[in-house]
Amino acid sequence: MKLRTQLILAFLLLAVVPLSAITLYAYQSSARALRRTVAAESARAAEEMERRMGVVTANLSRRIDRLEEIPFPAAARGLSSPLEGSDAQVIGRLLTTLGDAASFIDAFEFHAAPGAHAPPAPGTTAGRPARAPRKPKTPSAPAAAGAPGTTSPIILHLPRIAGELAKDPDVAPLLKAAVALIPADEAGKLEKEMIARLGRHGETIARLVREGIEAAQSSKEPEAEGAPRRDAGLRLKKEFGCELRRDGERVGSLKARVSSDRLLGQILSQSRRDQGEIPFARDAAGNLFTPDPKDLTRLKELHLAPDSGAGGGSAPEGGAKDEQWVVVTHEDPATGLTFGLARPVGESLEEIRRASGRNLLAGLGLAAIALFGVLPLSRRMTQNLSDLTRGAERLAAGHLDTQVPVRSRDELGQLTLVFNRMATEIRAGQERLVEQERLRKELELCRRIQVELLPRKPLYYPFAEVQGLSLPAHELGGDFFNYFGLPGGEIALIMGDVSGKGVPAALLMANLQATLQARIPLEPDLAAFAERLDREGEASTPAEVYLTLFLGILDPKRRELRYVNAGHESPFLLRQDGRPVRLDSTGRPIGLLAGGGYSERRIALGAGDRLFMYTDGLVDAENEAGADFGAARLEALLSGEGAGDAAGARTPQALLAKVERAFAEHRGRIDAADDATLLVLRVGDWAGAGAPAGAAALA
């Protein structure tokens, strides 16, 4: 997958996906917050309905308790005739005592106490004879069966009482006539007639009659086809009643039949309906009541309304099965009713969804705009990377002059600059490598020439044996050695070390070796020869260049070695008994502060003596710990060749091999910093002194 595609996909994943997730989370959080807020408000409203119910029922209980001392003279007669006189006043006092609470009561149920005497007939106190009682009408509700020893209860229906107060033989015609009069101005005639007949209680009774007529009329209105049916009145757990006493004596008990519909209607009608909420109440049997019967259909859809009059299921407290509604209930322990409030939240949720959708679309729009801004940036980035890729391919193909155009000053531009600089440095490095390779080959050729200038084979004489060894370092050095026979039968021994390294030292070494080999046969006095070399070296070489030199002539006739040591490392003369003797310097190095003079020395040699010469590359070599090989180590190594050694162990080859092994073991993995040059002379039998032994003498 290309980088540009990866950038676009990464942008979409890092922008669109998180934006969608945040929008969804915001919607769900807002929806939960809305439902919690609505549920909290609905819970407070349900608790308020329960408190109002408590206030109303407490007021109703207090007013009914006040009926304890009101006499009921007509109770014994069962209200067999229209109320007159004191009966009307008693009913008026009853209704006045109940006040506004009278509208919640359908009937009173009076139970006479066993043995209670009947009250005096009305009119006797007024001095009038009692009227003959009329045949009682059929009661609107059957009397409850009395307990043993008690009379049957008397049921006083307030609407019926209101009808009798209006002196109408039949309640229904009165209701119809009163309903017709209510909207007209003549509605006051009924009230005036009741007030004239009932005295100061007539106004209260007239109001109750008017309310009863309105309730009766509304109950008789035909229901529309398909309209929901209101459930039967809810059963209240709490009962309302009191004991009746006269002159301190209990004469019976009074139980009020409360109209739950009117009572709950007043309680629930005070709820707000501006937000489409539905207040309701539910009894223990599952029956529901709501001010508007049409709301029962909605409650059934929420699984709150019963499927039959016997009861039904309901949603758990605080919730509903429909996510578009929030239902909260609160139970009233006193009445056994559960008050609830169903509030629709569908429109609010839909508005939240629309707002979330708008926010998502706006975010996607901004992401699209940002994407259009990312495309040119990604195109420029990929173009720069493509240029770098093509440049790297050309560079890998060997085009070291490759350069990539710099199109920006950002990180990619800096990378392009680094690439161009790298290509330039690679080209320069390649040129240096070529030059170094050329120099390496030239140095290797110089090394080979330098090796060719050194003796390649040992020199054998009947009286002496000479062999040398060069241990080269990586660079060209100024070490050299040589041995050759002179015309008089003598052997010349040369070892020198030019200061410095590299080609200059190698060139000077080659020049000096050729000079020495050509001039030694012509210079019988080694000290004078060394002085001439000293002056010539100072005149022809730079001041910092000098030469350490050991010149020796082995004279078989005199059986001695004469030598000049111009600042060179002191050779070791190993006697046959193993005792070492140092041949110290007899003057300064050649070319270093010329004019100091030199002296020639002589030393007698016996059969079996060995002369070991070396350069400073041997004793100055360091190991991994930085310790020098040292002259003391070399002396100890050479002294190990005692007089009792076998003849083969005392040969020049064996001694050179022994020193070479010790030198290699000392250095370990450390490369030599300077050439190490070794030369060994072994004196043989002087009886064979004379001309060289065949071709080997000049090899």
Whether 405 maps to a domain, the answer reads yes
Q: Which range, 97-111, 169-183, 394-408, 651-665, is most confident?
A: 651-665
> Which residue among 348, 377, 406 closes a domain?
377
Amino acid 209: pLDDT: 58
The partner residues of 187 in beta bridges, in order of sequence, read none
| Distances 114 to 68, 121, 485, 490 between C-alpha atoms, Å | 17, 19, 174, 176
The strand order across the sheet containing 278-282 reads 288-289, 278-282, 337-344, 325-332
Q: How many whole angstroms separate alpha carbon 249 and alpha carbon 254?
A: 15
The average confidence (pLDDT) of the chain is 75
Of the chain, the percentage scoring pLDDT greater than 70 comes to: 72
Confidence check: pLDDT of 352 > 70: yes
Query: Among 127-136, 343-352, 590-599, which is the least confidently predicted range?
Result: 127-136
pTM of the model: 0.45
| 51 CB-near residues (< 8 Å, 6+ apart) | none
Whether 391 maps to a domain, the answer reads no
Closest C-alpha among 498, 517, 533 to residue 454:
517
Query: Among 189-193, 544-548, 585-589, 613-617, which is the least confidently predicted range?
Result: 189-193
Length of the chain: 699
Cα four-point dihedral sign 66, 70, 76, 78? negative
Amino acid 699: pLDDT: 31
425 plus 535 within the same structural domain:
no
Q: Six-digit token pair at 353? A: 């969804």
Q: Which range, 4-18, 122-136, 194-208, is most confident?
A: 4-18
Q: Which domain holds residue 158?
A: 70-118+149-218+238-270
What are the phi and psi torsion angles at 551 (to 5°)? -115, 125
541 plus 626 within the same structural domain:
yes
404 plus 535 within the same structural domain:
no
Q: How many whole angstroms separate alpha carbon 565 and alpha carbon 48?
A: 128
pLDDT band for position 152 (cuts 50, 70, 90): low
Q: What is the mean pLDDT of residues 407-427?
A: 86
Whether 61 maps to a domain, the answer reads no
Whether 131 maps to a domain, the answer reads no
Query: Among 242-251, 454-463, 479-488, 637-646, which is the least confidently predicted range?
Result: 637-646
Confidence check: pLDDT of 158 > 80: no
SS3 label, residue 177 = helix
526 plus 672 within the same structural domain:
yes
Whether 329 maps to a domain, the answer reads yes
Q: Which range, 111-115, 159-163, 683-687, is most confident?
A: 683-687
| Rg over CA atoms, the chain | 69
298 plus 260 within the same structural domain:
no
Please say whether the beta carbons of 681 and 611 come within 8 A.
yes
Please say whether the beta carbons of 459 and 697 come within 8 A.
yes
What are the contacts of 541-545 at 24+ separation with CB within 8 A?
A: 541/508, 541/591, 544/499, 544/500, 545/498, 545/499, 545/500, 545/504, 545/508, 545/591
Q: How many whole angstroms separate alpha carbon 145 and alpha carbon 152?
A: 6
Whether 595 maps to a domain, the answer reads yes
SS3 label, residue 251 = strand
Query: Among 382-386, 531-535, 565-569, which is the least confidently predicted range?
Result: 382-386
Please say whether the beta carbons of 328 and 271 come within 8 A.
no
| 508 CB-near residues (< 8 Å, 6+ apart) | 478, 498, 541, 545, 547
Q: What is the mean pLDDT of residues 238-250?
A: 77
460 plus 558 within the same structural domain:
yes
| Distances 288 to 227, 231, 437, 449 between C-alpha atoms, Å | 16, 7, 108, 124
Confidence check: pLDDT of 46 > 80: yes
Please say whether the beta carbons of 505 and 514 come within 8 A.
no
Whether 133 maps to a domain, the answer reads no
Scored b (16 or more CB within 10 A) or e, 486-509 reads: eeebbbbbbbbbbbbbeebbbebb
pLDDT band for position 120 (cuts 50, 70, 90): very low
373 plus 477 within the same structural domain:
no
| 452 CB-near residues (< 8 Å, 6+ apart) | none
Higher pLDDT, 20 or 641: 20
Q: How many whole angstroms separate alpha carbon 417 and alpha carbon 405?
A: 9
Q: How many whole angstroms separate alpha carbon 236 and alpha carbon 216?
A: 22
Query: Among 75-84, 284-293, 438-447, 458-467, which is the least confidently predicted range?
Result: 75-84
662 plus 576 within the same structural domain:
yes
| 503 CB-near residues (< 8 Å, 6+ apart) | 443, 446, 476
266 plus 300 within the same structural domain:
no
List alpha helices for 454-501, DSSP H. none
Confidence check: pLDDT of 573 > 80: yes
Q: What is the mean pLDDT of residues 460-472?
A: 90
Confidence check: pLDDT of 204 > 90: no
> Which residue among 390, 411, 445 closes a domain?
445
Amino acid 57: pLDDT: 84
485 plus 627 within the same structural domain:
yes
pLDDT band for position 153 (cuts 50, 70, 90): low
Q: How many whole angstroms separate alpha carbon 397 and alpha carbon 596?
A: 64
Please say whether the beta carbons of 423 and 400 come within 8 A.
yes
Q: What is the mean pLDDT of residues 551-570?
A: 94
Amino acid 194: pLDDT: 57
Query: Among 160-169, 350-359, 404-413, 683-692, which is the least confidently predicted range?
Result: 160-169
Give the torsion through C-alpha atoms of 563, 569, 575, 578, to 10 deg. 180
294 plus 266 within the same structural domain:
no
Please say whether the beta carbons of 424 and 416 come within 8 A.
no
| Distances 540 to 503, 544, 546, 591 between C-alpha atoms, Å | 17, 12, 11, 9
Q: How many whole angstroms separate alpha carbon 466 and alpha carbon 653?
A: 9
Higher pLDDT, 445 or 203: 445
Confidence check: pLDDT of 215 > 70: no
Q: How many whole angstroms separate alpha carbon 206 and alpha carbon 225?
A: 35
Q: Which range, 7-11, 122-126, 399-403, 566-570, is most confident?
A: 566-570
Scored b (16 or more CB within 10 A) or e, 43-60 reads: bebbebbbebbeebbeeb
Please say whether the beta carbons of 674 and 619 come within 8 A.
no
Split into its structural domains, the chain has a count of 4
Q: Which helix (DSSP H) or strand (DSSP E) does residue 116 occupy?
A: none
Whether 392 maps to a domain, the answer reads no
Q: How many whole angstroms separate alpha carbon 46 and alpha carbon 87?
A: 43
679 plus 592 within the same structural domain:
yes
Of the chain, the percentage scoring pLDDT greater than 90 comes to: 17
pLDDT band for position 309 (cuts 50, 70, 90): very low
pLDDT band for position 313 (cuts 50, 70, 90): very low
Please say whether the beta carbons of 596 and 616 come within 8 A.
no
Q: How many whole angstroms separate alpha carbon 68 and alpha carbon 97?
A: 11
Confidence check: pLDDT of 501 > 80: no
Higher pLDDT, 182 or 193: 193
Q: Which range, 120-134, 476-490, 643-657, 677-691, is most confident?
A: 476-490
| Distances 336 to 76, 237, 239, 339, 504 between C-alpha atoms, Å | 35, 5, 11, 10, 123
Q: How is residue 482 annotated by DSSP?
A: E
pLDDT band for position 266 (cuts 50, 70, 90): confident
Q: How many whole angstroms separate alpha carbon 540 and alpha carbon 508?
A: 10
Q: How is residue 399 annotated by DSSP?
A: -
Q: How many whole angstroms separate alpha carbon 302 and alpha carbon 322?
A: 6
